[in-house]
Amino acid sequence: MHLILLGPPGAGKGTQGALLTERYGIVRISTGDLLREAVREGTPLGRDAKRFMDAGELVPDDVILGLVRDVMSRVDSGVVFDGFPRTIAQAVGLERLLADLGRPLHAVILIEVDDEELVRRLAGRRVCAECGVTYNVHFQPPRAPGACDECGGTLVVRPDDSEDTVRRRLSVYREQTAPLIGHYRAGPVPVHVVDGDRPMDAVAADLAELLDALRA
């Protein structure tokens, strides 16, 4: 099964995508995670991508499509795409890639959340510098402030989670990514809308129901 999780930054795509991989044995491909890994490793691609990421702008389409093509060549199970595609050009590139690989796209799932709630979520987000587990100071705090429950690592604010950059990322989403909703609605793949303005478990339950129906 191949799915796209679409929605603004902070909608919970990463969290929900991770739950789907556990429950359904599909692989989550997050272009944001792939880019952060490249930045951490200091590869040339990571160094180029970092200035776009820190400014809240999108990394160029050809870089992103190259990354996804590379990962997809190594994955033969189902995939949930998280944070990709983010532009019409990426969506067209993904359609070509899936056609080349003979793999269909089954559904697009749009997680919708109100803008002010997104700012609150992203500005409150803390990430473990060691293992990458995500917390939120407002509604999912760690047991000890500033330390990861899983590994004891230090919790940090992602450089692109400062309030100004968050607002820039949201306007980039509205301008460049939201047009994908119309793009997919005009095509053959079903678009399912999930209300992401609810607790994580409620959103996860809706997604599980949806995936069970898609698999049936």
Considering only residues 28, 86, 121, 126, which one is a binding residue for ligand AMP as defined by CB under 6 A? 86
User: Residue 156, SS3?
Assistant: strand
Q: What is the DSSP string of 50-77?
A: HHHHHTTPPPPHHHHHHHHHHHHTT--S
Q: Which is nearer to ligand AMP, 42 or 143 (CB)?
A: 42
Query: Taking Cα atoms as reference points, which of 97, 28, 19, 80 lies closest to residue 214?
Result: 80
Sign (positive/negative) of CA torsion 63, 67, 72, 77?
Answer: negative
173 binds ligand AMP (CB under 6 A): no
79 binds ligand AMP (CB under 6 A): no
Q: Which is nearer to ligand AMP, 183 or 214 (CB)?
A: 183
169 binds ligand AMP (CB under 6 A): yes
- The yes-or-no answer on residue 47 being catalytic is no
Considering only residues 31, 128, 148, 184, which one is a binding residue for ligand AMP as defined by CB under 6 A? 31
State both tokens at 79.
């995939």
16 binds ligand AMP (CB under 6 A): no
Sign (positive/negative) of CA torsion 169, 188, 200, 211?
Answer: negative
113 binds ligand AMP (CB under 6 A): no
| Residues in touch with ligand AMP (CB under 6 A) | 9, 31-32, 35, 52-53, 56-59, 64, 83-84, 86, 90, 160, 169
